[in-house]
Structure 1
């Protein structure tokens, strides 16, 4: 079930929720930027109340710069589940460091074919633009991501480029025809992701359920692209309580509602301090 953040009965949601998952870009933080202090403060406190997951199409280094580097000293890192590159990787805090539990990396042949198809189809469809912000095709190990305007394009430019999503959807279909053994889907506003078949945010929450023992139905997932075709929609399709937001400001208000209802942790236990990697 998917509802806007301000239409959920938070008393019922909090009574059922055993884990809260979040998308990253435009949900917890503006694209590629760190969480702002008000969000970091609330996110830190939430990790002390309930298990928290971050499932993002971005690579792990962005999770570090956007989340881990700005967490408060009271964050309970043992309660944090990190799933970058659309859940193709999973990291947990163990023994004072972030340990990779799994990583479904593409092999050399899959990478080469993905790069070739993305460039060829982009040129054919007029999406290989002259000037871009940053890297155009990024190898994230377990995922290859093509960004029409470049990885560092400002949010306003990305939102204005293909507002209906028609251009990226058309290119995604063409690339998928070239790569029948891989999963190809339109990701963010101007991006197309290539990963192993069957791997998306639905896969991620099911893996999380298997590894934590928490039923998917008892998970909340918060994202800004919850409509059919959006990259957060599969998490709700898998059975989570889907919470639709438009921006980090919505997320702050939603998390405030959770913190007003979730029990405070018992005092006296030391928690791990966040470190960069």
Structure 2
């Protein structure tokens, strides 16, 4: 669903004030700001039609007459660096939820009721998308997150007095305010250089350790080296001359693993291919026992 999906593509839309293409954000905002506001009586009448008769046309008019409210609220959250259009889209979802749950018998204007739902959807969107790492999880942390943004003066760090005052106002620990401010002060940085020139060598990714430098990988590499040198030589040393010749011819003669065949070795030693296979199996079992100390 896009933010334009709340705008119907029929004549009723034109009657409510839309005209021309709504293919961009500026056109959308201009159009919703031209939509007529409802009087209290009209609002109550439409809400009762929706509640009693499930009149979707009434719901549409209630939603569209309050789209400008979503746009206005979304402007207050532009400081988080998220797309204005996405904020409006999430706010529109909250508005539709509010219209669906609105009770005209409570004698409350829809604008007051809808603000809660609109802000709730925007808050959820911001918390999920503002940073890759979630900055707030509990209800108290979320309250601190949004209040801290409004209390900070510019980009400067908060003074100890400001931290103490905010902690007292929000009834949270001083340490929690400091931690949240630290998170908010952080900024995502690109690991790779945006250009393909010599600057690449100075990008942050150039300073990250490769997988080969990871401690576990280093230990594994050292273990393999020992197996290939000390361990293998010791294991071969425990074999008799014929067994060692068979193992070397079968497994160590070529790097690609294309060693001598059983029949070739059978002709060399004057025995059957099956006997060569048995000698090979016994030798490998003996070598496995010798290599156990290096694993």
Category of TM-score, reference length = shorter chain? under 0.3
| Higher strand proportion (structure 1 or 2) | 1
Q: Which has the higher helix share?
A: 2
TM-score under structure 2 length normalisation: 0.24
Higher relative contact order (CA 8 A, sep 6+): 1
Larger of the two Rg values belongs to structure:
2
TM-score (norm 1): 0.25
